[in-house]
């Protein structure tokens, strides 16, 4: 069975979820939503909360829109839990994973979701804002940041503005369409690359120098994972971000 | 209980220049869109908006040059519908002051407003430059109990919460079905609430199970019957896909400076 970056990323995000985790993603998050469904389908035993207010909604029902505020993230829940309560969970140390994204990120894992060019009060491009990230990145046990288009405009030497910053004492990883970075001693280190790319391609699409001459290749999706993915996402919602 | 059912035109005329409005829903979901179409036509100025994840309805007011400050943690339409063009243009031209927080900062500011206290500590936010650019909203304090540093946000008391609901009675008791987003908090924080509703129902339907009432009548100043009042966006269980054609026409209108024309067509035949 074939796969591309969309399938690889959903699989890689889903593998970050462990038994017993409390997992959250926000709005505009089709890839994490699909990864959560995949992890459920693969039998992972965890709790999933989201901005639609759902608590473990019925993951078997395929999503029909990429909006991750939709009723698909609510139906089948046995309880509701709102965004305000989820943020309280995170701040009191009870959230294991949040999935976040970014427009720009530097090697320290600092994220810009606020603006590009000009200054804060008269930006050249006003971005949508970091939503929960300024709170979640420093307080969540494990933050996983995803980016479907890694290039030198997204992974940059210097961000224009720090909307959110990780706590180097907590786990922080970045999963892109090409590879996985993990924060070590306050800096992102290349951990592995996906089977369809090369170290050279990753270097060419990273705004900070990568000095490694060798890197491990991340395990490809299994046949079981790919068939589960096709089943939980028959409408190809995962592709909306690509 | 007092009857508060009124036409849309009467409800929108309650809004005055310079007021702080808490706009309900999230991104393209259950916004008071039809209310904001009509409000934008009144050319109010210096409005301030607050909401955790603001979307279409707030953007219409930004596009109409009615807004000078926005408190938000996200302002956009999600995925293929992209950035919010009215808000973006207002910020980029330096006309709108963006007060960006994280979700919990906006929530905490509204909680403080509703609790009647001047500010509130929030978790996280460390190393975020959002703190540096808006000292009028964020400060860092030391806990008087153990010396721990904590970020605090200033209370916000909206003059109005404006929310779109599934069902309301003529007195203002209102019920949202499905995702509430932060709408209940908005009504608790605000001085008064304006409800637009898909349906007007009997009070008895609230009395059967009062715990399912999202907003009680005494918080509400106006109730407006507004079927499909969240379109072109989504309303849980009522209409669940975005009207993409309308969103396209909206973006085009903003690009071409033709918002008035867009509003005239969109509101044609609606009171």
- Closest chain A residue to B110, measured at CA: A84
For chain A, domain boundaries = 5-234
Confidence of residue A1 (pLDDT cuts 50, 70, 90): low
Is A116 an interface residue toward B (CB < 8 Å)?
no
Q: What is the pLDDT along chain B (271 residues), one digit of tens a residue?
A: 899 999 999 999 999 999 999 999 999 999 999 999 999 999 999 999 999 999 999 999 999 999 999 999 999 999 989 999 999 999 999 999 999 999 999 999 999 999 999 999 999 999 999 999 999 999 999 999 999 999 999 999 999 999 999 999 999 999 999 999 999 999 999 999 999 999 999 999 999 999 999 999 999 999 999 999 999 999 999 999 999 999 999 999 999 999 999 999 999 877 5
A38 three-state secondary structure: helix
Which residues fall within 8 angstroms of residue B84, CB to CB, at 6 or more apart?
A128, B54, B55, B56, B58, B59, B62, B75, B76, B77
Q: Which superfamily does CATH assign the domain made up of A5-234 to?
A: Glutaconate Coenzyme A-transferase (3.40.1080.10)
Residues of B in contact with A120 (CB under 8 A): 98, 133
Reference B35, options B4, B72, B71, B9; nearest CA is B9
Residues of B in contact with A129 (CB under 8 A): 72-76, 98, 100
Instruction: Decide: A69 and B76 in contact? Cβ < 8 Å.
Output: no
- Render chain B in DSSP notation, one character per residue: ----B--HHHHHTT--TT-EEEE-SBTTBS--HHHHHHHHTTT--SEEEE-SEE-HHHHHHHHTT-EEEEEESEEB--GGG-B-HHHHHHHHTT-SEEEE--HHHHHHHHHHHHHT-SEEEES--TT-THHHH-TTTEEEEE-TTT--EEEEEE----SEEEEEEEEE-TTS-EE--S--TTHHHHHHHSSEEEEEEEEE--THHHHT-GGG-SB-GGGEEEEEE-TTTTTTSBBTTTB-S--HHHHHHHHHHHHTT-HHHHHHHHTTT--
Cross-chain Cβ contact A163/B101 below 8 Å: no
A92 three-state secondary structure: coil
Which residues fall within 8 angstroms of residue B223, CB to CB, at 6 or more apart?
B4, B5, B6, B168, B169, B170, B171, B172, B174, B195, B197, B200
Picking from A127, A130, A165, the nearest residue to B73 by CB comes out as: A130
Cross-chain Cβ contact B91/A165 below 8 Å: no
Instruction: Decide: B77 and B28 in contact? Cβ < 8 Å.
Output: yes
Picking from A64, A83, A137, the nearest residue to B103 by CB comes out as: A83
Q: Which pLDDT does position B271 carry in this prediction?
A: 56
Which whole number is the average pLDDT over A112-119? 98
- C-alpha–C-alpha distance, residues A125 and A118, integer Å: 8
Cross-chain Cβ contact B74/A91 below 8 Å: no
Picking from A74, A131, A134, the nearest residue to B178 by CB comes out as: A74
Q: Which pLDDT does position B268 carry in this prediction?
A: 86
User: Å from A194 to nearest chain B CA?
Assistant: 25
Is A127 an interface residue toward B (CB < 8 Å)?
yes
Task: Give residue-wise pLDDT tens across range A33-60.
Answer: 999 999 999 999 999 999 999 999 999 9
- C-alpha–C-alpha distance, residues A105 and A15, integer Å: 23
Picking from A69, A120, A162, the nearest residue to B26 by CB comes out as: A69
Domains and CATH numbers, chain B: 8-103+156-266 (3.40.1080.10)
Residue A208: CB atoms within 10 A of its CB come to 16
Residues of A in contact with B100 (CB under 8 A): 114, 129-130, 163
Q: Which pLDDT does position B91 carry in this prediction?
A: 98
Q: What is the largest CA-CA distance in chain A?
A: 51
Cross-chain Cβ contact A28/B80 below 8 Å: no
Q: Which pLDDT does position B269 carry in this prediction?
A: 77
Q: Which residues pair with B47 in a beta bridge?
A: B67
Reference A38, options A177, A176, A232, A221; nearest CA is A232
- C-alpha–C-alpha distance, residues B125 and B162, integer Å: 29
- Closest chain A residue to B87, measured at CA: A126
Instruction: Decide: A29 and A145 in contact? Cβ < 8 Å.
Output: no
> What distances in angstroms separate CA B169 from CA B15, B48, B186, one per listed residue?
22, 29, 19
User: Å from A65 to nearest chain B CA?
Assistant: 8
- C-alpha–C-alpha distance, residues A96 and A141, integer Å: 5
Is A137 an interface residue toward B (CB < 8 Å)?
yes
Picking from B72, B91, B237, the nearest residue to A71 by CB comes out as: B237
User: Å from B44 to nearest chain A CA?
Assistant: 23
Q: Work out how many CB contacts closer than 8 A connect A with B.
A: 177
Picking from B78, B94, B133, the nearest residue to A27 by CB comes out as: B78
Interface pTM (ipTM) of the complex?
A: 0.96
Tokens of residue A241, six digits: 């971000």
Residues of A in contact with B101 (CB under 8 A): 134
A151 three-state secondary structure: coil
Tell me, letter by letter, the H, E, C secondary structure of A163-225: CECCCCCCEEEEEECCEEEEEECCEEEEEEECCCCCHHHHHHCCCCCCCCCCCEECCCCCHHH
Cross-chain Cβ contact B97/A121 below 8 Å: yes
């Amino acid at each position: 069975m074939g796969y591309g970056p969309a399938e690889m990323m959903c699989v890689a995000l889903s593998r970050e979820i462990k038994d017993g985790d409390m997992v959250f993603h926000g709005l505009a998050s089709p890839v994490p939503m699909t990864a959560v469904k995949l992890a459920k389908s693969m039998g992972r035993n965890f709790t999933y909360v989201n901005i639609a207010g759902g608590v473990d909604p019925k993951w078997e029902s395929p999503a029909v829109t990429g909006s991750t505020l939709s009723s698909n993230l609510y139906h089948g829940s046995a309880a509701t839990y709102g965004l305000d309560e989820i943020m309280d969970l995170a701040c009191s140390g009870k959230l294991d994973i949040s999935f976040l994204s970014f427009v720009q990120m530097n090697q320290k894992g600092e994220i810009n979701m606020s603006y590009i060019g000009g200054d804060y009060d008269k930006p050249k491009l006003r971005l949508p804002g970091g939503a929960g990230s300024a709170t979640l990145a420093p307080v969540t046990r494990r933050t996983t940041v995803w980016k479907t288009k890694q290039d030198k405009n997204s992974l940059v030497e210097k961000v224009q503005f720090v909307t959110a910053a990780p706590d180097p004492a907590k786990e922080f990883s970045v999963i892109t369409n090409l590879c996985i970075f993990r924060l070590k001693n306050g800096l992102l280190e290349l951990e592995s690359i996906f089977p369809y790319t090369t170290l050279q391609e990753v270097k060419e699409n990273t705004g900070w120098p990568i000095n490694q001459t060798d890197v491990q290749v991340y395990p490809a999706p299994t046949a079981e994972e790919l068939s589960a993915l096709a089943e939980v996402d028959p409408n190809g919602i995962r592709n909306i971000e690509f | 209980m007092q009857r508060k059912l009124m036409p849309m035109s009467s409800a929108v005329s309650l809004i005055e220049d310079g007021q702080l409005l808490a706009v309900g829903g999230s991104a393209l979901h259950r916004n008071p869109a039809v209310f904001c179409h009509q409000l934008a036509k009144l050319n109010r100025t210096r409005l301030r908006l607050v909401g955790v994840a603001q979307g279409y309805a707030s953007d219409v007011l930004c596009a109409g040059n009615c807004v000078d400050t926005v408190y938000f943690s996200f302002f956009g339409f999600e995925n293929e519908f992209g950035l919010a063009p009215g808000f973006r243009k207002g910020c980029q031209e330096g006309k709108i002051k963006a007060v960006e927080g994280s979700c919990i900062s906006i929530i905490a500011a509204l909680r403080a407003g509703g609790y009647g206290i001047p500010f509130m500590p929030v978790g996280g936010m460390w190393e975020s430059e959002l703190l540096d650019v808006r000292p009028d909203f964020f400060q860092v304090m030391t806990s008087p109990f153990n010396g721990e540093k904590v970020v605090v946000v200033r209370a916000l008391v909206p003059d109005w919460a404006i929310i779109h609901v599934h069902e309301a009675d003529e007195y203002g008791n209102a019920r949202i079905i499905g995702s509430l987003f932060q709408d209940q908090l908005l009504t608790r924080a605000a001085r008064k609430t304006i409800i637009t509703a898909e349906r007007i129902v009997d009070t008895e339907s609230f009395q059967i199970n009062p715990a399912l009432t999202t907003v009680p009548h005494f918080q509400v100043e106006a109730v407006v019957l507004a079927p499909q009042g969240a379109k072109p966006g989504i309303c849980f269980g009522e209409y669940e896909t975005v009207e993409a054609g309308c969103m396209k026409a909206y973006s085009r209108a903003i690009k071409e400076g033709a918002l008035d024309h867009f509003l005239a067509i969109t509101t044609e035949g609606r009171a």
